[in-house]
Structure 1
Amino acid sequence: MIIAPSVSPAHSVEDAHKVGVVSFGLFGDQGVFRSEATGAAQVVAGRFGTGPIDVHYNSRKGGDATINRLAKSLQVTAGALDAEKDVLFLILTSHGSPDGLAIKAGRLTQTLTPSRLADLLARTGVRHKVVVISACYSGVFIPRLANPDVLVITAADANHPSFGCEDKAKWTYFGDAFFNVALRHAKGVTDAFVDARALVRKRELREHFEPSNPQMAGGANVLPLLAARP
């Protein structure tokens, strides 16, 4: 596993790169995923965003946060970015399994596998990407996605669940720690991840849960492009 190095944010506006955000709440039967997808997109846009923002989520009655919609959203957002200079920032929140991410939109059920997501991302043509996956067993995506041009952050490793999927909650444990707390104040993504991982571990130990072990891998070429706003 390649652990992303710490990179200081750029100080000049001229150094800033456009960041396009795509955020999907995939499991409609619990409102926490809708809330997290929406809130996370707002936080990322507030810290980095100068590009398009596209948020989709499902509910018990249905929704359009499907694999086909994700493919379209990634393509549309990518079309508004410079393929070499800008960053595509993808956020996915749902229930997870060793097979991938669960999608539930009314009666529609799907599984987004690591291979399928890798294919969708490759088709965008955008070189530099960030993928944050808030789900149980989300570490299964790292071997397929992470490389120097793709930074991958997951709420858990490949062998453990993550926590906080209560229906009326606004955030999962990891989403709250990373997006709602750490990323709002940290100097950059690496610092935010380190802080969030510590917060999650502390909360899990307090509640006597087996640690989820959030992961961060790849992204050596991406982190220098993410200049957080003060």
Structure 2
Amino acid sequence: MIRRVVVTLIASLSLAACATTSGGAATGGEPSSGAFDGWAASIVAADWTTSRGTPIQAFDNARRDLVAGFQEVGFARADMVDFALRPDVPNPTSADQALNAIGRNAEQATRGCFLYFTSHGSPRGIVFGPNRLLSPDEMARRVDDWCGTRPTVVIVSACFSGVFTDRLAAPNRMIMSAARRDRSSFGCSEDATYPYFDGCILESLPTAPNFLVLADQAAQCVQRREREEGLSPASEPQTLVGVDIAPLLSTIYAFRR
């Protein structure tokens, strides 16, 4: 079974998590400091331009700081890989090289899976390097191969990234997208430090006790920024939580504090 969680309701699922993690340990007999030991983590900046093709740093900035941010909450650098798929650097990483490395990392760290992709997107999928589009069907096949039935969190930060939520859904997975399947997201201009959704994840990480609250806080942050800047239609980030992983995310898999 899969439980769809509307972003405005996630906080109600997370009240218990706030209480159980306030002492620095998760319920279930496992300290939060080791909650993500053995989780394979992969963070990919899969594009490097504006919608007009002008090179930008926003995606790379997000990748760099997301790597640091998720280490701070308990993910081990030894079990983490990250890639920028921009071609305008010495020895660029290709899409196939990144995908193969993600697979190898998942074979070595087998306790859980965390995947984060930031890029441009369309209703057909996300840009994945200079000449490739990663479709929901292909990503679903790869996540099945990489992660199987282990606890899995997938975050897709891109326009129209809601096209991935239903396709990736499984009882053992939490899926977060930066926008509805029919909406754009914002923050990919030349002067942007991060795409808005990535920036809101980074803003929320220091205070969120777990992924459920992180999704809620990031969605509220995006909503606030879009409202303040008069951007419409709203991107409406989406979250889908499988019934098997939901109780684990609010107890066992707490962020380190």
TM-score between both structures, scaled by the size of structure 1: 0.88
CA distance in 1: counterparts of 2:176 and 2:253, whole angstroms: 15
- How do 1:7-156 residues align onto structure 2 when only pairs under 5 Å count? 8=17, 9=21, 10=26, 12-13=30-31, 16-18=35-37, 19-29=39-49, 30-50=56-76, 52-61=79-88, 63-66=92-95, 68-82=96-110, 86-105=111-130, 109-126=131-148, 127-156=150-179
Using the TM superposition, give the Cα deviation of residue 194 of structure 1 relative to its aligned residue in structure 2, in angstroms.
1.1
Does the CA contact (< 8 Å) of 1:130 and 1:151 recur in 2?
A: yes
Residues 10-64 of structure 1, C-alpha deviations (whole Å, 9 max, x = no match): 1542872423210110112332111112211221121121351101002351631
DSSP 3-state at the match of 2:205? helix
- Cα pair 2:112 2:147 within 8 Å, conserved: no
Alignment correspondent of 2:53: none
Shift of 1:165: 0.7
Aligned alpha-carbon RMSD (Å)? 2.1
1:202 aligned to 2:220? no
- Tell me if the contact between 1:156 and 1:212 (Cα under 8 Å) persists in the aligned partners: yes
Tell me, yes or no, if the aligned pair for 1:41 and 1:91 is still in contact at 8 Å: no
Deviation of 1:225 after TM superposition, in Å, equals 4.2
How has the CA–CA distance of structure 1 residues 37 and 116 changed in structure 2, closer, same or farther, with 3 Å as cutoff? same
Distance (Å, rounded) in 2 between the aligned partners of 1:46 and 1:65:
28
Counterpart of 1:104 in 2: which secondary structure?
coil
1:148/1:53 CA distance change after superposition, 3 Å? same
Distance 1:173-1:65 versus aligned 2 partners, 3 A rule: farther
Whole-angstrom distance in 2 between the partners of 1:196 and 1:125: 25
The structure-2 alpha-carbon separation of the partners of 1:21 and 1:167, relative to structure 1 and needing over 3 Å to count, comes to farther
1:126-184, Cα deviation, whole Å (9 max, x unpaired):
42211111100000000100222111111101010000012343311111111x11112
Q: Distance in 2 between matches of 1:213 and 1:191?
A: 16
Q: Secondary structure at the match of 2:165?
A: helix
TM-score (norm 2): 0.79
CA distance 1:165–1:78, change in 2 (3 Å): same
Q: Structure 2: how far apart are the matches of 1:149 and 1:157?
A: 22
Letter in 2 for 1:182: S
Name the amino acid aligned to 1:149: N
What stretches of structure 2 of length at least 5 have no aligned partner?
50-55
**Do the aligned partners of 2:44 and 2:116 also contact (CA within 8 Å) in 1?**
yes
CA deviation string 1:74-97 (max 9, x = no partner)? 221112223xxx221101000000
Q: How many residues align?
A: 222
SS in 1 for 2:128: strand
SS at match of 2:129: strand
Partner of 1:2: 4
The CA deviation at 1:101 is 0.2
Q: Percent identity?
A: 24
Match of 2:255 in 1: 228
Q: Which runs of 5+ in 1 are unaligned?
A: none
Cα pair 1:56 1:65 within 8 Å, conserved: no
Larger Rg: 2
